[in-house]
């Protein structure tokens, strides 16, 4: 062994950065080279123009330079870069600088390269966004609840921050930020950051000129902005809800338990470091259920069921305040570290606030979705540490990182016992706080700080299988709920005949039981059975989005035409991809359905977010499987 080899071996033993570790940290979805030049802070100064549907202004990056010869590389997508300046201080003075923009690549956008003078530590980029920016949705007044004022919101995860900010758009880079946002005078601007008016008196916001600061380092995908006709309601001194005026009171009623959720979460996972926790309820075109923007979860209005039955979404986004926002996946291949941990933590919060049975029902429903999802993905995509080379990171956002990841942690919890596991979990969050970590780093922390203490228990957990193999280990836990037993009995009777006489037995069922009921009948029904079910339970008129979605999906599958007007109403109002995609998929399975899908999509598409629209465009352009 040469001296150099020996040093490398020693460094590897000591856990220092070695070649393979660098490889694991490489983010295939970003052009940035943070190991050469890294953003530490961003200063945004943007004007919001609803007339041109653009953001225009500048971002100033404060840099840390490791390689003095290297240029500054950033991600951009659809931006027009007007001018670039460099300086030795973020407050200036600045001097004009050269820059080049590489040809744009589909999905990833265009690399922006800025050569740096030797003393430059600040770079200011003057730019504007495109009206088609993939990370922004500009809503006309008709797409809002109030119908009078326009609305704008961002959705940066996974790689859309680059469509509204030239930045190092990789979860491996964390930076603090400040922002000044100019808006039309009668609209409110909110960001995933602290702001004085939110604390002092949210009822009297500054008019048209907002300042925000995020003093804790976060990845670019957590930078978020929303502008609209918004009102605030306190839920507790440190939690609240923002929504359009006609929605805000219903939202406040639905989310009354948010403070209790926070207290449960802090007890389980450690202190909440971000300051406030507010939920912003967006218009129904929001393509996701929720997004964990720090201090300000963005949420779909489709969880406003009137009975708090769908608030696990709030528990989920709140849990990201630890898993995801505090300890972040280093690359999108490590996405399960964000979502699997969060799904596990979400259920722990639900259990603490609503009791063990509710958490069990939610876990059991999650398990069913996981089983379905495993059936429809090739083995390589069933692996927690997924290979996303050359692919859109969105491809990895299936139920697998969520539910398989949560099941993995549940397995460890069950083998080691709650007390030991919870201690380890708190230590994990404390140990990696404000870091972006890889699956390998998680794995070695689990080994050294939990498994190593009890070999007998550790041997019961097939670590390698959980992390690197498709499917589920045979020893995986299988969540079930006693509350589903009576549901299965009634479902069985319905499978046999029109069992309207079972109605009294369903009187006290909750949303989760109804969902279990519908799933049990999904495959075995036909149009006649659907009509009987609808007569007995009026599913077509359901105001609960999850129940309605499940019902509409069955209706398409079994050709239950009386539900079609409701289907059209739903698909033209709601843009949440989890609902919209399976419904179009189902429609596209038959010729008749395709015609209906085309007619509905022509009406619905203008209202969809670019993310949902591009997903549905993809379904329509997919070739039909050849008849056998
Ligand atoms: N961070 C995700 C949303 C996301 C994931 C956006 C990947 C873009 C790319 C968020 O925390 C989430 O998981 N939302 C879920 C709801 C949750 C209760 C499972 C959703 O939107 O369906
Ligand atoms: Zn999540």
- Bond prior to 158 in cis (omega within 30° of 0): yes
The residue nearest atom 8 of ligand 1, judged by CA position, is 157
Q: Are 290 and 324 in contact (CB under 8 A)?
A: no
Span 267-303, pLDDT tens digits: 999 999 999 999 999 999 999 999 999 999 999 999 9
DSSP 3-state assignment of 247?
A: coil
pLDDT value of position 488: 98
Please report the atom of ligand 1 found closest to the CA of residue 317: 11
DSSP 3-state assignment of 154?
A: strand
- pLDDT: which is higher, 196 or 181: 181
Show which residues are catalytic.
Answer: 317, 402
Over range 503-518, report the average pLDDT: 98
pLDDT value of position 95: 98
* Probe target for ligand 1 pocket from 169, 218, 291, 299, with the most ligand atoms within 8 Å of CB: 291
∠ CA 604-224-104 to the nearest 5 degrees?
Answer: 70
397 Cβ inside 6 Å of ligand 1: yes
Confidence grade of residue 200 (pLDDT, cut at 50, 70, 90): very low
What Cα–Cα distance (Å) separates residue 91 from each residue in 57, 86, 235, 299, 551?
A: 16, 11, 39, 36, 57
Query: Would you say residue 101 has pLDDT above 50?
Result: yes
If you ran DSSP here, which 8-state letter would residue 500 be given? G
Element (H, E) at 512: helix 511-521
317 Cβ inside 6 Å of ligand 1: yes
The full set of domains in the chain, from first to last, is: 327-468 (1.10.390.10), 484-620 (1.25.40.320)
* Probe target for ligand 1 pocket from 286, 290, 340, with the most ligand atoms within 8 Å of CB: 290
* d(C-alpha 592, C-alpha 626), whole Å: 17
DSSP 3-state assignment of 182?
A: strand
320 Cβ inside 6 Å of ligand 1: yes
316 Cβ inside 6 Å of ligand 1: yes
Give me 554's structure tokens: 């069955």
Over range 132-149, report the average pLDDT: 97
219 Cβ inside 6 Å of ligand 1: no
Span 53-89, pLDDT tens digits: 999 999 999 999 999 999 999 999 999 999 999 999 9
Query: Would you say residue 10 has pLDDT above 50?
Result: no
Q: What is the pTM of this model?
A: 0.95
81 Cβ inside 6 Å of ligand 1: no
Please tell me the distance between residue 318's alpha carbon and the centre of ligand 2 in angstroms. Answer: 9
Query: Would you say residue 12 has pLDDT above 70?
Result: no
The residue nearest atom 1 of ligand 1, judged by CA position, is 291
* Probe target for ligand 1 pocket from 220, 302, 339, with the most ligand atoms within 8 Å of CB: 339
Q: Which of 48-52, 336-340, 370-374, 521-525 has the lowest mean pLDDT?
A: 521-525
Confidence grade of residue 319 (pLDDT, cut at 50, 70, 90): very high
First-residue to last-residue Cα distance in the chain: 62
* d(C-alpha 441, C-alpha 330), whole Å: 10
Span 279-288, pLDDT tens digits: 999 999 999 9
Over range 520-544, report the average pLDDT: 97
401 Cβ inside 6 Å of ligand 1: no
pLDDT value of position 9: 40
Q: What is the number of alpha carbons within 13 Å of residue 199 lying toward its C-beta?
A: 10
Which of 171, 24, 16, 18 has its CA nearest to residue 468? 24
546 Cβ inside 6 Å of ligand 1: no
Please tell me the distance between residue 132's alpha carbon and the centre of ligand 2 in angstroms. Answer: 25
The residue nearest atom 20 of ligand 1, judged by CA position, is 289
Confidence grade of residue 207 (pLDDT, cut at 50, 70, 90): confident
Query: Would you say residue 613 has pLDDT above 60?
Result: yes
Count Cβ atoms below 10 Å from residue 378 Cβ, excluding itself.
7
Q: Which ligand is nearest to the CA of 346?
A: 1
């Amino acid at each position: 062994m040469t001296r150099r080899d020996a040093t490398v071996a020693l460094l590897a033993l000591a856990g220092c950065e070695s070649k393979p570790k660098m490889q694991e940290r490489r983010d295939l979805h970003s052009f940035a080279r943070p190991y050469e030049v890294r953003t530490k802070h961003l200063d945004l100064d943007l004007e919001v123009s609803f007339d041109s549907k653009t953001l225009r202004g500048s971002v100033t990056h404060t840099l840390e330079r490791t390689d003095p010869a290297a240029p500054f590389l950033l991600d951009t997508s659809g931006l027009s870069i007007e001018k670039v300046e460099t300086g030795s201080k973020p407050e200036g003075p600045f001097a004009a600088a050269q820059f080049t923009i590489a040809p744009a690549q589909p999905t990833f956008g265009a690399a922006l390269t800025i050569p740096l003078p030797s003393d430059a530590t600040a770079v200011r980029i003057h730019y504007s966004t495109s009206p088609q920016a993939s990370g922004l949705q500009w809503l006309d007044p008709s797409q809002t609840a109030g119908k009078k004022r326009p609305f704008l919101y961002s959705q940066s995860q996974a790689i859309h921050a680059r469509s509204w900010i030239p930045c190092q758009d990789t979860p491996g880079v964390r930076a603090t930020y400040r922002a000044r946002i100019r808006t039309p005078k009668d609209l409110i601007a909110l960001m995933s950051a602290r702001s004085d008016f939110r604390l002092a008196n949210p009822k009297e916001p500054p008019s048209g000129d907002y300042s925000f600061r995020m003093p804790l380092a976060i990845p670019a995908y957590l930078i978020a902005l929303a502008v609209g006709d918004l009102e605030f309601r306190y839920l507790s001194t440190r939690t609240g809800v923002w929504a359009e005026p006609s929605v805000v009171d219903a939202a406040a009623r639905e989310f009354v338990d948010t403070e209790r959720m926070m207290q449960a979460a802090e007890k389980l996972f450690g202190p909440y470091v971000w300051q406030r926790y507010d939920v912003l309820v967006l218009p129904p075109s929001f393509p996701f259920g929720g997004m964990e923007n720090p201090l300000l979860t963005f949420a779909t209005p489709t969880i406003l069921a009137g009975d708090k039955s769908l608030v696990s979404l709030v528990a989920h986004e709140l849990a990201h305040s630890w898993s995801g926002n505090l300890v972040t996946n280093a690359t999108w291949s490590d996405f399960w570290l964000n979502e699997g941990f969060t799904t596990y933590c979400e259920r722990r919060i639900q259990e603490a606030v609503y009791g063990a049975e509710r958490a069990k029902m939610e876990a059991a429903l999650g398990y069913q979705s996981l089983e379905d999802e495993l059936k429809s993905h090739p083995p390589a995509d069933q692996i927690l540490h997924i290979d996303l080379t050359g692919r859109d990171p969105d491809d990895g956002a299936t139920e697998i990182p969520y539910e398989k990841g949560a099941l993995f942690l549940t397995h460890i919890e069950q083998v080691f016992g709650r007390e030991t596991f919870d201690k380890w979990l708190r230590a994990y969050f404390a140990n990696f706080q404000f870091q972006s970590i890889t699956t390998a780093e998680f794995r070695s922390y689990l080994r050294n700080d939990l498994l190593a203490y009890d070999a007998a228990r550790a041997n019961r957990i097939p670590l390698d299988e959980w992390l690197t193999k498709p499917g589920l280990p045979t020893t995986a836990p299988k969540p079930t709920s006693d509350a589903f037993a009576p549901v299965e009995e009634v479902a069985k009777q319905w499978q046999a005949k029109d069992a309207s006489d079972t109605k009294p037995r369903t009187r006290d069922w909750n949303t989760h039981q109804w969902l279990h009921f519908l799933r049990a009948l999904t495959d075995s029904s036909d149009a006649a059975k659907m009509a009987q079910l609808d007569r007995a339970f009026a599913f077509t008129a359901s105001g609960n989005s999850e129940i309605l979605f499940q019902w509409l999906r069955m209706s398409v599958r079994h050709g239950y035409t009386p539900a079609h007007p409701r289907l059209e109403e739903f698909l033209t109002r709601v843009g949440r991809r989890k609902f919209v995609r399976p419904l179009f998929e189902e429609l596209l399975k038959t010729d008749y359905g395709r015609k209906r899908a085309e007619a509905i999509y022509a009406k619905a598409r203008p209202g969809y977010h670019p993310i949902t629209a591009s997903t549905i465009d993809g379904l329509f352009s997919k070739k039909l499987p050849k008849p056998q």
